[in-house]
Amino acid sequence: MDFFYEFASTYSYITAMRIAPLAQAAGVTVRWRPFLLGPIFKQQGWETSPFNLYPAKGRYMVRDCERQCAALGLAFRLPEPFPQNTLLAARVAAAVMAEGWGEDFSRAVYRAQFAEGRQIGSPDVIREIVRDLGRDDAVLAHAQSDAIKQKLRGATEEAQRLGIFGAPSFVAGDELFWGNDRLEQALAHAKN
């Protein structure tokens, strides 16, 4: 099953923190697919997060995430400003996914951003996250290479072709599922 996630997405944070044990219990292999929602939102005429464009929805999202996280024993804190620029984080994730620590890196970025409210748009913060994972921060330069830029662009274009319009999204066979609330259903479908 493919798990498409955007680092600025609060509900992707919740999924990222709970998907591994659920997938293991279901016997489903999950492919983590970082992508960017920005270009997809732009095509819909949105220049920022819908949670900023529609304030009532934004206020509700914060309260809903607080409740969902509390039930799961997760901290929740919105960084200032929201959304953060997630381009570098997504490129690093795309760069290291094949090296076997992409999931750990992604969870660490989410934790820094939405549990600790840190500025994950800052290269310094990303560098610190990489070092805290015991990895070489040369990956930050590698992440800015044309090959990695193209890899991330390709994932975003593929998401768009698949009809993805938000995050997290799950693709299992011919079925698309949207939202942390559909994680269990997506895994059940992928299992069959």
Q: Which of 23, 172, 176, 183 binds its own copies (CB under 8 A)?
A: 176
- CA 173 and chain centroid, separation: 21
Least distance (Å) between residue 62 CB and its own copies: 11
Q: How deeply is 124 buried, as exposed, middle or buried, from its count of CB atoms within 10 A (0-12, 13-18, 19+)?
A: exposed
* Count of CB atoms situated within 10 Å of the CB of 102: 18
Structure tokens at 86: 């997630």
Least distance (Å) between residue 41 CB and its own copies: 10
Query: How far is Cα 190 from Cα 192, in angstroms, rounded to an integer?
Result: 6
Q: Give the β-pairing of 169-172 and 31-34.
A: unpaired
How crowded is the C-beta side of 53, counted as CA atoms within 13 Å?
9
192 touches its own copies by CB under 8 A: no
Q: For residues 60 and 147, which CB has a smaller minimum distance to its own copies in the complex?
A: 60
Q: Which of 59, 147, 154, 157 binds its own copies (CB under 8 A)?
A: 59
Q: For residues 136 and 174, which CB has a smaller minimum distance to its own copies in the complex?
A: 174
166 touches its own copies by CB under 8 A: yes
Q: Within 124-163, which residues bind its own copies (CB under 8 A)?
A: 163
User: Which listed range, 9-17, 53-61, 86-94, 144-152, lies at the site for its own copies (CB under 8 A)?
Assistant: 53-61
Structure tokens at 128: 């610190």
191 touches its own copies by CB under 8 A: no
Q: What phi, psi does 6 have (nearest 5°)?
A: -120, 135
18 touches its own copies by CB under 8 A: no
Nearest one of 167, 116, 105, 110 to 140, comparing CA atoms: 105
Q: Which of 93, 164, 167, 183 binds its own copies (CB under 8 A)?
A: 164
Q: Which residues bind its own copies (CB under 8 A)?
A: 44, 54, 56-57, 59-60, 63-64, 67, 163-166, 175-178, 181-182, 185
